[in-house]
Amino acid sequence: MSAEHDEVVIRYGLRDEERPGAAKIYYEAFGGKLGVILGPPETAIPILAEGFTDGPILVAFYRGEAAGLACLRFNGEDFLSIRASTLARKFGWIESLTRLIMLRLIDQSPSEGGLLLDSIAVDGRFRSLGIGRRLIEAVFDLARNRRLTQVALQVVDTNPRAQSLYERLGFTAVRTYRVPFMRSIMGFSAYTIMTKPVRQTPLPNHTGDRPRRSDGRTG
């Protein structure tokens, strides 16, 4: 079953009051690998809520409730910025350095002129309604409006369902990296880079009463 078109609204940027809910969705989706770095949910969720920037995050609302996120990097803009001092408050300076290094190890960067869809997560209650697909479409709207040339993402070998979703949406696998040492740390032993070019056709006007458009521009 798919959500009706108008049941899903996508907006660019998190409001302050939405940060804890967004952090919960993010942790629920990626806790398997993030837990190693940011600790259990009671520690990690506040760190994430503080670490989300005012920048490139698309938030999907289903019937008014925050239901999903697409977290992006492009043109030097980043959805997440976790300070060393925040980690140090929770884990002490020495341990937080190790955790920061691990965070950097799994960090990905966008190519020149490209957009990196770093992560996409839909609240478990609202999966398979088409919200993930709608978020990805909004990512392409944004990329087109910013004149970016391609969208790239990474998918791990333990997530074949996500990979098949991306394939259905026109992404192509360009390279697979084997990282067997990651299996015992984060549960996956290979990841694949997938890309899809952005077609620069003019978009129909997005109008409506949303405070910020999903392409990140105001007005």
Ligand X SMILES: CC(C)(COP(=O)(O)OP(=O)(O)OC[C@H]1O[C@@H](n2cnc3c(N)ncnc32)[C@H](O)[C@@H]1OP(=O)(O)O)[C@@H](O)C(=O)NCCC(=O)NCCS
Using CB under 6 A, list all residues that contact ligand X. 29, 119-122, 127-133, 155, 159, 161-162, 164-165
58 close to 74: Cβ distance less than 8 angstroms: no
Q: How many CA atoms lie within 13 A of 38 on its CB side?
A: 27
CA 59 to centroid of chain Cα atoms: 10
- Minimum CB separation from ligand X for residue 107, in Å? 15
- Minimum CB separation from ligand X for residue 152, in Å? 12
Q: Euclidean distance between the first and final Cα of the chain, in Å?
A: 33
CB nearer ligand X, residue 62 or residue 91? 62
- Minimum CB separation from ligand X for residue 25, in Å? 8
CB nearer ligand X, residue 86 or residue 189? 189
Residue nearest to ligand X (CB): 132
Residue type, 181: F
CB nearer ligand X, residue 23 or residue 29? 29
CA 204 to centroid of chain Cα atoms: 25
- Minimum CB separation from ligand X for residue 149, in Å? 21
CB nearer ligand X, residue 36 or residue 162? 162
**CA atoms of 8 and 140, how far apart (whole Å):** 17
**CA atoms of 19 and 48, how far apart (whole Å):** 8
- Minimum CB separation from ligand X for residue 156, in Å? 7
Strands 77-78 and 65-74: antiparallel
